[in-house]
Chain A
Amino acid sequence: MSNASLEATVDPKDVQGWISNLGTEPSAAVPLLQAVQQEFGYLPRKAMDLIVENTEINASQLFGVATFYAQFRLDPVGRNLIKVCHGTACHVQGADRLNTSLRHVLGMKDEEEDTASNGSYTVEDVACIGCCSLAPVMLIGEQAFPNLKGADAQRHLVKHAKTVGEILPGKDAEKEANP
Chain B
Amino acid sequence: MSLPADWSLLAVELAACGWILLTLAADLLLSGARKRWLWALTLSGVAVLALLLGWQQQMGLAGSFQSMFVLDRFGVYFKWLFLLTVAVVVVMTREFGALLSERAGAFYLLLLTALLGMLVLASIYDLLMLFIGLELLTFSLYIMAAYLRTDARSVEAGMKYLIMGSVSSGFLVYGIALLYGFAGSTNFNVIHAALASEPAPLTAQAGMLLVLAGLGFKIAAVPFHLWVPDVYEGAPTPVVALLSVGSKMAGVVALLRLLLGVFQPLAWLWMDLLAVLAAATLLYGNLAAIPQTNIKRLLGYSSIGHAGYLLMGLSTGSLAGARAVAYYLLAYLFGNLTVFLVVTAATKALGGEALDDYRGLSKRSGLLAASMFIGLLSLAGVPPLGGFVGKLLVLLATVEAHRIWLAALGAVNVAVSLYYYLMVVKRMYLEAPRATSPIPVSALTRAALAGLVLGILAVGIVQEPFLARIAAALHP
Q: Do A and B bind each other?
A: no
